[in-house]
Amino acid sequence: MRLEFMDRVKEDDILGRNIYTNDGNILLRAGIKLNPLYIEKLKKIGILYIYVEDSRLDDVEEEDKQLLELKNTTMRNMSQIVRNICANGNQKETKNSLRMVEDLIDYIIEMRDVNKFLYNIQSYDNYTYGHSIDTGIMSTFLGEKMNLKETELKDLGIGAVLHDIGKTRVPIAIINKKGSLTHEEYDEIKKHPIYGKEILKNNFKISNDVIKSIVEHHERVDGMGYPYGLKGHQISKFGKIVCICDVYDSVMNNRCYREKFAPNDAYELILAGSGTIFDDKIVENFKKTFSVYPLGSCVKLSNGIEGYVIKQNPGFPDKPIIRVLYDSVTKKSVQFYEIDLVKNINVIIDNIV
């Protein structure tokens, strides 16, 4: 399969992976032949890229169906989980709801393959829930790379999934405002980590590590974050991990006030923040965990050649193995061949195309 921006998708291309709605239902099923109506509708609802079938890229890994089902189950129940917690509801029901999150985290610990998580194509009507779940998944993968214990990973994952729960106390008009916030509105937004801490502490017993994940996810190691202006070692390891994953997933999605970042730009944002916004040691683990360019994506190299990412090189997040399928000038098919960017040190990726 190859990952294509919608502007490059052609009539009669075959959809390679299901596209899901925000409640986990299938919007468009894999295997369907795309026509102009489908393509236009996908563009209108904000789908920017899709996987399409290509026999020359059959070895690009399939999505992990169990992970996707666990993620969609959690997504379907997020509104109920949040309602239970915020309404000071039945503690037993809340704990039962959170077991869905724990099931997701348990599977991540078991599977250990981050490439099967990134770039599942979904149309989220509710950005917050989708972002929260993806931040939880990323934080768990990163925590695992840092050799956290299983109990710690569960607390980290739960805290990351619930990191924005305090926004339920912020007026929706502020959350969805397009354009710049006033000073008063921004001050209100900056209270959401404290609101989250209050919600959880007032409603049921939960570990201090989960609380720290929530209340510290906007703190910066240089002390310029909020709500408390903590710096360096004053910030918990959990808060630092969720901070990185929250920022990365946030800029990888469209928001009402800005367009999403390209994958390489989002990655560079994390690296540029090492030692100021983010803990430098955790950034190093981030580099070991997540790759810049997703499997199946088309990239243009510094020598002008275009090709598709077919495999990641561990430890080299920006140097995957590329398969060339066509002549970059004539766009005609060629006998495909591969370029390993670790072995070809004079060639780098310019951008995604």
CATH code of the domain covering residue 19? 3.90.105.10
Query: Is 288 buried (19+), middle (13-18) or exposed (0-12) by CB count in 10 A?
Result: middle
The count of structural domains within the chain is: 3
In angstroms, the Cα distances linking 79 to 72, 139, 204, 215 are: 13, 21, 18, 21
User: CA–CA separation, 255 vs 126, rounded Å?
Assistant: 11
The pLDDT value recorded for residue 123 is 46
CA nearest to 42, candidates 25, 72, 20, 65: 20
Per the listing, tokens 């928001």 go with 255
Give the whole-angstrom CA distance, residue 70 versus residue 53.
24
Task: Note whether 150 and 119 are within 8 A (CB).
Answer: no
Q: Are residues 181 and 135 in the same domain?
A: yes
Residue 198, domain member (yes or no): yes
* Cβ atoms < 10 Å from Cβ of 321: 17
Coil, strand or helix at 325:
strand
Is-contact 29 15, C-beta < 8 A?
A: yes
Q: How confident is the model at residue 346 (pLDDT cuts 50, 70, 90)?
A: very high
Same domain, 141 and 267: yes
Q: Phi/psi of residue 297, each to 5°?
A: -80, 150
Does residue 16 belong to any structural domain of this protein? Answer: yes
- Mean pLDDT score of the chain: 87
Q: Calculate mean pLDDT across residues 284-309.
A: 92
Is 194 in the same domain as 342?
no
Residues of the chain with pLDDT > 90, as a percent, come to 50
Q: Are 79 and 110 in contact (CB under 8 A)?
A: no
**Bridge-based pairing state of the strands 19-21 and 26-28:** antiparallel
Least confident of 224-233, 257-266, 282-291, 310-319: 257-266
The answer to whether residues 74 and 137 belong to one domain is: yes
DSSP string, 231-259: -GGGS-HHHHHHHHHHHHHHHTS-BTTBP
pLDDT band for position 10 (50/70/90)? Answer: very high
Residue range 45-76, pLDDT digits in tens: 878 788 899 999 988 866 677 887 888 788 87
Lowest-confidence region among 139-143, 157-161, 260-264: 260-264
**Whether 334 and 254 share a structural domain:** no
pTM attached to this predicted model: 0.85
Please tell me whether residues 96 and 76 are part of one structural domain: yes
323: containing domain:
297-352
Q: Is residue 57 assigned to a domain?
A: no
Residues 151 and 281 both lie in one domain: yes
- Cα–Cα dist 313/278, whole Å: 24
Task: Verify that 90 and 160 share a domain, yes or no.
Answer: yes
In a domain, 183, yes or no: yes
In this predicted structure, the answer to whether residue 257 has a pLDDT above a threshold of 80 is: no
Q: Tell whether the model's pLDDT for residue 158 goes beyond 90.
A: yes
Lowest mean pLDDT among 21-25, 204-208, 213-217, 347-351: 21-25
**pLDDT tens, residue by residue, 177-195:** 888 889 999 999 999 999 9
Q: What is the mean pLDDT of residues 229-243?
A: 97
| pLDDT tens-place string over residues 91-110 | 677 777 788 888 889 988 88
Q: Is 314 domain-assigned?
A: yes
Q: Answer yes or no: is 60 within a domain.
A: no
> Does some domain include residue 99?
yes
